Amino acid sequence: MHEMSLAGGILSLVEDAARRERFVRVTRLRLEAGALAGVEVRALRFALESMVPGTVLEHARIDIDEPPATAWCLQCDGTVHIASRLDACPGCSGSRLQPTGGTELRVIEMMVEDA
């Protein structure tokens, strides 16, 4: 389950920010895990929740947005929504799609408390 290492990386990023920016607690963490990011959101949430006791994320509200995947169709020259990298273009049934969105795993927002 690579979500455990992803959660560890997120926690590390947040704790580094806490040291650098001198805050003591995160009250809300908002993440984005796109449909093509290769992340099982429930597993990521479970991994994060299992790691947060004793950290700046303890008791934080963790929201994970799941934006849909988009791609550029090279055949019909348009942006389309897809569910998987293997999908055909819903407009022209072409198979030459370049993903343009929904591939990200990133921290969108942190609400924090100072000392």
Domain count, the chain: 1
The mean pLDDT value for 96-113 works out to 96
pLDDT, averaged across the chain: 95
pLDDT of residue 115: 73
The mean pLDDT value for 34-57 works out to 96
Distances in Å between the Cα of 60 and the Cα atoms of 23, 30, 76, 115 are: 13, 10, 45, 16
User: Above 70 in pLDDT, residue 1?
Assistant: no
User: Above 70 in pLDDT, residue 30?
Assistant: yes
Closest CA to 85 of 97, 67, 73: 97
Distance between CA atoms of 56 and 7, rounded to whole angstroms?
14
CATH of the domain at 42: 3.30.2320.80
- Range of the structural domain that residue 109 is part of: 3-114
pTM given for the model: 0.85
